[in-house]
């Protein structure tokens, strides 16, 4: 496949690109011309893993950000720039999730595609603290994520027109699994008593999850982990937990747990004992090769962890 060349307009990114080009012979590419595959780069696992399932042997899908990596603060390295150069197409979430990569992606010609920005804007949730800012964590609504993935598959069909039918068939099979996941999630969360159906996490990543599964969500930090939680945010969370007798709070695999620990300590000082309900996957998935390293497995893990912790006192 023909490779796209990035046209960077920002000097700092251009300097990194020049450094990459001066590195001599490059043997780190991902294309396998003999197999007729294409090279796909995805920023986050929630994009990369489903597309690797759908594309199968038709594409080499490489995910930029692995387990524990926070996309809100991730910055491109020299090797990332090289990876972008060699890709046939780049899929990213958009909606300001990969905030530090915005300059890079704005400078990419036609091979960078924000799948989150293809979803009907009427279905997007807004940042409660910043008007006009959309919540980028749309993968927590299975139906919306299906729409976003569908747009990515259509782009793959453009690159692989001879395999369009195969891609469509694989997509439909995967979407059948997503329909089962949707049913499992809503049925399982519905088993939590309504008064205990309150999800407290480190940052505000689960609003779509809450809307889809009818559970109240509280994030100590805002939508982006770039903004630190203040004393008032922590105290407000503590007050709500004590008032509503929330039984458990949750840490996230890609977010520092210090604010959650502060909330636990504050609640105990206020006379309310609260448990650490477990670790949830929000902006990053689990290790490759594990169930939590898949989108469906990650989602099921979160559902099961939340259900177990919020029903433990029954």
- Do 164 and 262 belong together in one domain? no
Q: Which of 161, 184, 207 is the last residue of a domain?
A: 184
d(CA 141, CA 151): 16
Using pLDDT thresholds of 50, 70 and 90, give the confidence band for residue 313. low
Q: Dihedral of CA 300/304/310/311: which sign?
A: positive
Q: Is 145 a member of any domain?
A: yes
Q: By 3-state DSSP, what share of the chain in percent is helix, strand and coil, each rounded to 5? A: 50, 15, 35
Last residue of a domain, one of 184, 202, 222: 184
- Domain assignment present for residue 6? The answer is no
> Is residue 47 in some structural domain?
yes
Q: Is residue 1 part of a domain?
A: no
**In this predicted structure, what is the pLDDT of residue 228?**
55
Domain tally for the chain? 2
What range defines the domain where residue 296 resides? 190-310
Which one of 184, 216, 233 terminates a domain?
184
CATH code where residue 17 lies:
3.40.50.1980
| Average pLDDT of the segment spanning 167-181 | 98
3 lies in a domain? no
Kindly report, residue by residue over 37-49, the tens digit of the pLDDT.
899 999 999 999 9
Co-location of 48 and 98 in the same domain: yes
Q: Identify the pLDDT of residue 163.
A: 97
290 within some domain: yes
In this structure, the answer to whether residues 38 and 180 fall within a common structural domain is yes
pLDDT digits (tens, 9 = 90+) for 234-287: 888 999 999 999 999 999 998 888 889 999 999 999 999 999 999 999 999 999
User: Closest by alpha carbon to 118, among 156, 148, 141, 149?
Assistant: 148
| Gap between the Cα atoms of 68 and 252, Å rounded | 9
Residues 304 and 243 in one domain: yes
Average pLDDT, the chain: 86
Q: Is residue 4 assigned to a domain?
A: no
Q: What is the pLDDT of residue 78?
A: 86
What is the tens place of the pLDDT at every residue in 44-92? 999 999 999 999 999 999 999 999 999 999 999 988 988 888 899 999 9
Note whether 151 and 144 are within 8 A (CB).
no
* Same domain for 195 and 176: no
92 and 232 in one domain?
A: no
- The tally of CA atoms less than 13 A away on the side-chain side of residue 276 is 15
Taking only the tens place, the pLDDT of each residue in 127-161 is: 766 777 899 999 999 999 999 999 999 999 999 99
Quickly state the pLDDT bin for 231 (edges 50, 70, 90): low
d(CA 94, CA 99): 8
Is residue 197 over pLDDT 80?
yes
* Long-range interactions of 52-60: CB distance < 8 A, separation 24+: 53/170, 53/174, 54/149, 54/153, 54/156, 54/167, 54/170, 54/171, 54/174, 55/156, 55/167, 55/170, 56/166, 56/170, 58/156, 58/160, 58/163, 58/166, 58/167, 59/156, 59/160, 60/30, 60/31, 60/32
Domain presence at residue 2: no
Same structural domain for residues 172 and 240? Answer: no
Which alpha helices (DSSP H) does 89-163 contain, by range?
102-107, 142-159
Q: Are residues 207 and 174 in the same domain?
A: no
| Neighbour count for residue 151 (Cβ, 10 Å) | 16
Residue 166 makes CB contacts below 8 A (sequence gap 6+) with 56, 58
**Statement to judge: residues 151 and 169 lie in one domain:** yes
176 and 194 together in one domain: no
Question: Is the separation of the CB atoms in 252 and 283 below 8 Å?
Answer: yes
């Amino acid at each position: 496949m023909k490779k796209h060349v990035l046209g960077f307009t920002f000097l700092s990114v251009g300097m990194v690109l020049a450094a990459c080009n001066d590195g001599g012979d490059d043997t780190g590419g991902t294309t396998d011309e003999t197999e007729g595959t294409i090279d796909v780069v995805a920023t986050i696992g929630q994009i990369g893993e489903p597309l690797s399932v759908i594309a199968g042997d038709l594409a080499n899908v490489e995910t930029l950000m692995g387990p524990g990596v926070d996309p809100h603060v991730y910055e491109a390295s020299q090797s990332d720039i090289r990876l972008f150069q060699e890709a046939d197409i780049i899929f990213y979430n958009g909606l300001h999730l990969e905030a530090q990569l915005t300059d890079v992606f704005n400078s990419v010609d036609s091979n960078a595609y924000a799948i989150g920005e293809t979803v009907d804007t009427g279905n997007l949730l807004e940042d409660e603290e910043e008007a006009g800012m959309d919540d980028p964590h749309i993968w927590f609504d299975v139906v919306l994520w299906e729409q976003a993935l569908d747009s990515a598959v259509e782009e793959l069909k453009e690159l692989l027109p001879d395999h369009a039918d195969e891609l469509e068939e694989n997509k439909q099979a995967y979407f059948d699994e997503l329909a089962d996941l949707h049913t499992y999630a809503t049925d399982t969360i519905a088993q939590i008593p309504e008064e205990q159906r309150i999800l407290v996490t480190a940052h505000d990543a689960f609003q779509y999850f809450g809307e889809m599964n009818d559970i109240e969500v509280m994030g100590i930090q805002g939508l982006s982990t770039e903004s630190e939680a203040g004393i008032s945010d922590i105290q407000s969370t503590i007050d709500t937990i004590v008032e509503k007798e929330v039984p458990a709070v949750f840490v996230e695999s890609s977010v520092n747990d210090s604010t959650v620990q502060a909330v636990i300590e504050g609640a105990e000082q206020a006379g309310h004992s609260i448990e650490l309900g477990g670790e949830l996957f929000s902006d990053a998935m689990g290790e490759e090769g594990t169930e939590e390293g898949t989108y469906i497995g990650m989602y099921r893990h979160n559902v099961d962890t939340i259900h177990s912790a919020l029903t433990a006192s029954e």
